[in-house]
Amino acid sequence: MVAIPKMGTPEADALIKAHKECTDSMKGVAGFSVLKCEVPGDTTTVSGGVHEDPVLRRVLLRMRGASPKGKLVVICTKVDAEWRIGRLSGVRGVPPVFVNDKVYTDEQEIQHDIFVMRLQELPEEDLTAAQFHEGWKRRSDNWPAT
């Protein structure tokens, strides 16, 4: 079982702070990783983030390994200029739905907001044997039988 810090606790606040520090240090870097740059925007020397925080690493792995149904994602609405948060339906061919009207002009900020939203949605205790599944490519995920 994986314990997920409950929102409003010092542990959750520390996770959110660590994620925000990593997000801020990655501004100016193409793509997104939860790493902390020694000099913001310069990935020559990285530390912190998933390299040094086992709780943050565990929570991120849990978030990334979740079923696509209901997952929050970044949707680019104007190339390299605007992004919005969407929620996947979990059914192939059905487009995601925007969760709100907020438009982001910074690709890193949207990643942090999604992290906080997903942290709020995660159950406090996760990955018991009953909740485990074989992976993302299961027959129940609308993949053709082979």
Query: How many domains does the chain divide into?
Result: 1
Report, as an integer, the average pLDDT of 125-134: 57
Give the SS3 label for residue 97.
Answer: strand
Cα 18 to Cα 49: distance, rounded to the nearest angstrom: 7
84 lies in some domain: no
Which pLDDT band holds residue 114 (cuts at 50, 70, 90)? very high
| Cα 123–chain centre separation | 15
pLDDT computed for residue 139 by the predictor: 55
86 lies in some domain: no
85 lies in some domain: no
Give the SS3 label for residue 133.
Answer: coil
Contacts of 110 (CB under 8 A, 6+ apart): 74, 83, 84, 85, 104
Which pLDDT band holds residue 137 (cuts at 50, 70, 90)? low
The predicted model scores a pTM of 0.80
Q: Are strands 125-126 and 2-3 parallel, antiparallel or unpaired?
A: antiparallel
The lowest-confidence range among 11-20, 54-63, 131-140 is 131-140
123 lies in some domain: yes
50 lies in some domain: yes
93 lies in some domain: no
13 lies in some domain: yes
26 lies in some domain: yes
Q: Which residues form the domain of 30? A: 2-66+106-133
